[in-house]
Structure 1
């Protein structure tokens, strides 16, 4: 499940971005009851990217911020408790990584549920059911 963490340069150091990415990955697995799952742990991936100072806009004007996007099957991030718990924890992780250089109001997050049958897991295209079956084995 690809996660993406983008932030404007200066909001956090590259090392802090890496630490935040690891912690967010761990939180994602934890909130789904998958900590240590041998199938999902290596398949929760994250892209971390620092954007140039003018690489993000809000209302058409340059803005400093952090953006977290999670692309998941429809059965992930499906319950309100998991949504609130995971995104609160992720926001806390990002806020800490930014070391007070960024207000919480500039930390943005969202989830995108993908089309069933489009997951590539270990080189094999899977439906949600096939994916769930594989996860249950881990």
Structure 2
């Protein structure tokens, strides 16, 4: 389940970037009720994009901001409450790690869904039933 964190250079140190990504991973597992699930933990992947300061914009101007994008299969975080909880928790994680260098109003998040059967792991296409079975079969 890819997470993309985008920040301008100099906003977060490499250690803070790693801490933020780990916190986003934990937030997703917690909200999904899958903390400790080995299949899910192993398949939360992603990237940290560190862009030149002048390439991170809000209102058309450079700003110290963070963008969090989460890509999921259709069955994950499907309810409005789950979506809201992830966005709030993800914002809290990045704001805390920003240590005052990042205003809450400059943290944007979105969740994008892959269509049924279009989720691939290790060359295998997973539908909702396949994913539920893989998650249920994983050990804590």
TM bin, normalised by shorter chain, reads over 0.9
Contiguous gaps of at least 5 residues in structure 2: none
Q: Secondary structure of 1:78's partner? A: coil
Matched residue, 1:48: 48
TM-score (norm 2): 0.91
Matched residue, 1:115: 115
Q: Secondary structure of 1:87's partner? A: helix
Instruction: Give, in whole Å, the separation in 2 of the partners of 1:48 and 1:78.
Output: 25
1:73 aligns to 2:80 (yes or no)? no
Matches within 5 A, 1:29-108: 29-108=29-108
Shift of 1:128: 2.0
How many residues get paired? 138
Contiguous gaps of at least 5 residues in structure 1: none
Instruction: Give, in whole Å, the separation in 2 of the partners of 1:87 and 1:44.
Output: 16
The answer to whether the Cα contact below 8 Å between 1:71 and 1:113 also exists between their aligned partners in 2 is: yes
Q: Relative to structure 2, which stretch is displaced further, 115-124 or 14-23?
A: 115-124
Matched residue, 1:18: 18
- Residues 45-86 of structure 1 show CA distances to partners (whole Å, capped at 9, x for unaligned) of 121121111112223322221000000011112112212222
Instruction: Give, in whole Å, the separation in 2 of the partners of 1:119 and 1:36.
Output: 21
